[in-house]
Amino acid sequence: MSYLGDVKAAPEQDRVRVFDTTLRDGEQSPGISLNTAEKVEIAQQLARLGVDVIEAGFPITSPGDFEAVQAIARQVEGPVIAGLARTHKADIDAAWNAVKDAPRPRIHTFISTSDIHIEHQLKTTHEDVKGQAKAAVAMARAYTDDVEFSPMDATRADVEFTAEVCAIAVAEGATTINIPDTVGYTTPEEYAAHLTRLYQLVPGLDGITLSVHCHDDLGLAVSNSYAGLQAGARQVECAINGIGERAGNCSLEEIVMLLRTRRDVHGLDTTVDTRELARTSRMVSRLTGYSVPPNKAVVGRNAFAHESGIHQDGVLKERSTYEIMDATEVGLDSNAIVLGKHSGRHALKDALEQLGFHVDGQELRQAFKRFKEIADKKKQVTALDLEAIVSDEMRERSESYNLAWFEVEAGTRRDPLATVCVTLPSGEESQAEATGDGPVDAIFGAIREAVGTDADLRRYEVEAVTEGTDALGEVTVVLRANDRLASGQGVATDILEASARAYVRALSNALEGAAIREAEEATADAAAERTPGP
């Protein structure tokens, strides 16, 4: 049965636009460093999910960010593609040049309106902030009709001053005004009152789109976003799995399912294909290295699990006794068996296309080789297995360092000894061995020796992709090297192999990624000090 009834399109005045900032605000989370190919992969999945706007990045910050935003603008169809920009001319020029090839480009510009930011960060005056906002929106409108403006830290600012700045932005042609709760400070009641007051103070605000952007520092991001929508906003800014600066952003899957499930109360809805939520969540988790907590609402492993005997009894009799959503409606039914060990290349390609992966040529040959290796060790290969395999192969091709092979000698009567061979960026192979407290520790030590660097392990997690003793193991490693946090993931039926893959990738992200980013940032606008954004 459907727990949502017949889902009909909401009237336009009740439709909430979903603005996804996973690739901008989400990627600013510590330890996340996505390359261009990974960002495009996520953006294409966001398009399948049906978001209205993808904030693809902050183009001025580095040539790498610019390249990624430009690639998304050129390759991803459907959503509006937005680039973030401060009120500097160089920022706005960079944002436009990055998004201009998109069928539906947007420039999103911002400046703080709170006294604490104006005095301590911007070191300027109220009049200058108004002048910068006016000039920035006018410059952006000269490029495109779709311009969004954000008064950063608005919820800690004087509402009358924020209203003045927003009124200037509206007069200059901004088509969306976003009100950020930048540090997650406000409460739902305060946020709703703030937006209500802005509607009263800003002429023309009721004729354009009002947006909400809430952080989760006090655990209120979803609640505040919901309160803002009830107060009249019709765009919600959010991120997959709630990732983002500090404690993160409003979780896309949570706000979307809140609107869809309780539409009977508020009448609001989105056009998101909720059946893609779980797969989008898993993809972002794998590519960022940020695992999803088991008790995470909507997409966590326990979201539809029942341990209590009373709950189990009720669900067996009638699922709606303890489930307010159907797992199939958020895409948690995708663990169906799709292939076996005798399946051929055509069957694999067809199964991957059903999952949204379009591979051919060398990509298909490599995926098929990996599939056969897994199929020989597993009785049944599921959709979740295929997602993990393909994502793992995509990361393999993007690494600066790659695991060639490893061997481990271990037992209860001797210290484990690991020998590894790592392929270096030059194509040469480097071999080393090390002992450790256990086989995983020995492997990590040998990899460090082979690469010739040191690193501090911060987190090591192992999860099964599916159920059963032959399940694929997914390992996440977070480490610090060269004063940078970096993460890596590996997938294999052998946990030691998955661990080695994850560690090599984390090292690669920390060392190579850091070097590239530092070189890029050195070439960026020297006068522009990077600010986090709304």
pLDDT at position 524 is 46
Residue 326 lies in a domain: yes
Looking at the structure, tell me whether residues 161 and 55 fall in a common domain: yes
Q: Where are the alpha helices (DSSP H) in 305-360?
A: 309-317, 345-354
Q: What is the dihedral of CA 242, 282, 289, 361, to 10 degrees?
A: -140
10 Å Cβ neighbour count for 290? 22
Residue 2 lies in a domain: no
Residue 4 lies in a domain: no
pLDDT at position 513 is 56
More reliable by pLDDT, 526 or 195: 195
Express each pLDDT in 247-263 by its tens digit. Answer: 999 999 999 999 999 99
Residue 533 lies in a domain: no
Looking at the structure, tell me whether residues 379 and 253 fall in a common domain: no
Residue 7 lies in a domain: no
Residue 322 has pLDDT above 90, yes or no: no
Count of domains observed in the chain? 4
- Highest mean pLDDT, choosing among 86-100, 360-374, 401-415, 497-511: 86-100
Those residues whose C-beta lies under 8 Å from the C-beta of residue 282, and which sit 6 or more positions away, are 292, 299, 384, 387
Residue 296 lies in a domain: no
pLDDT at position 396 is 58
Q: CATH number for the domain including 46?
A: 3.20.20.70
pLDDT at position 263 is 95
Q: Give, for 276, the enclosing helix (H) or strand (E).
A: none
Looking at every residue in the chain, the average pLDDT score rounds to 87
Looking at the structure, tell me whether residues 238 and 362 fall in a common domain: no
Looking at the structure, tell me whether residues 349 and 325 fall in a common domain: no
Inter-axis angle of helices 383-398 and 361-375, nearest 10: 130
d(CA 180, CA 492): 42
Residue 451 has pLDDT above 60, yes or no: yes
Residue 3 lies in a domain: no
More reliable by pLDDT, 491 or 13: 491
Express each pLDDT in 111-152 by its tens digit. Answer: 999 999 999 999 999 999 999 999 999 999 999 999 999 999
Residue 321 has pLDDT above 70, yes or no: no
Tell me how far CA of residue 531 lies from CA of 152, 286, 430, 432, 468, in angstroms. Answer: 11, 27, 40, 42, 47
pLDDT at position 34 is 86
Range of the domain at 355: 337-393
Looking at the structure, tell me whether residues 325 and 466 fall in a common domain: no
Looking at the structure, tell me whether residues 193 and 262 fall in a common domain: yes
pLDDT at position 307 is 47
Those residues whose C-beta lies under 8 Å from the C-beta of residue 355, and which sit 6 or more positions away, are 279, 334, 383, 386, 387, 390
Express each pLDDT in 498-527 by its tens digit. Answer: 999 999 988 888 876 555 455 445 544 443
Question: What is the amino acid identity at position 211?
Answer: S
Looking at the structure, tell me whether residues 345 and 464 fall in a common domain: no
**How sure is the predictor about 16, in pLDDT bands with cuts at 50, 70 and 90?**
very high
Looking at the structure, tell me whether residues 421 and 442 fall in a common domain: yes
Contact 246, 214 (CB under 8 A): no
Chain centroid to CA 450: 32
Those residues whose C-beta lies under 8 Å from the C-beta of residue 308, and which sit 6 or more positions away, are none
Looking at the structure, tell me whether residues 359 and 425 fall in a common domain: no
End-of-domain residue from the set 230, 256, 288: 288
Contact 50, 271 (CB under 8 A): yes
**How sure is the predictor about 290, in pLDDT bands with cuts at 50, 70 and 90?**
confident
Q: What percent of the chain has pLDDT over 90?
A: 59
Looking at the structure, tell me whether residues 352 and 441 fall in a common domain: no
DSSP string, 345-382: HHHHHHHHHHTT----HHHHHHHHHHHHHHHTT-S-EE
Looking at the structure, tell me whether residues 161 and 198 fall in a common domain: yes
Phi, psi of 422, deg, nearest 5: -115, 135
End-of-domain residue from the set 288, 315, 347: 288
pLDDT at position 304 is 66
Residue 494 lies in a domain: yes
Q: Is 419 exposed, middle or buried (CB count within 10 Å of its CB: 0-12, 13-18, 19+)?
A: middle
Looking at the structure, tell me whether residues 115 and 64 fall in a common domain: yes
DSSP secondary structure letter of residue 212: E
d(CA 340, CA 381): 6
Contact 420, 431 (CB under 8 A): yes
DSSP secondary structure letter of residue 302: T
Q: Is 317 exposed, middle or buried (CB count within 10 Å of its CB: 0-12, 13-18, 19+)?
A: exposed
Contact 77, 117 (CB under 8 A): no
For the chain, the residue count is: 534
Phi, psi of 440, deg, nearest 5: -65, -45
Mean pLDDT on 9-24? 89
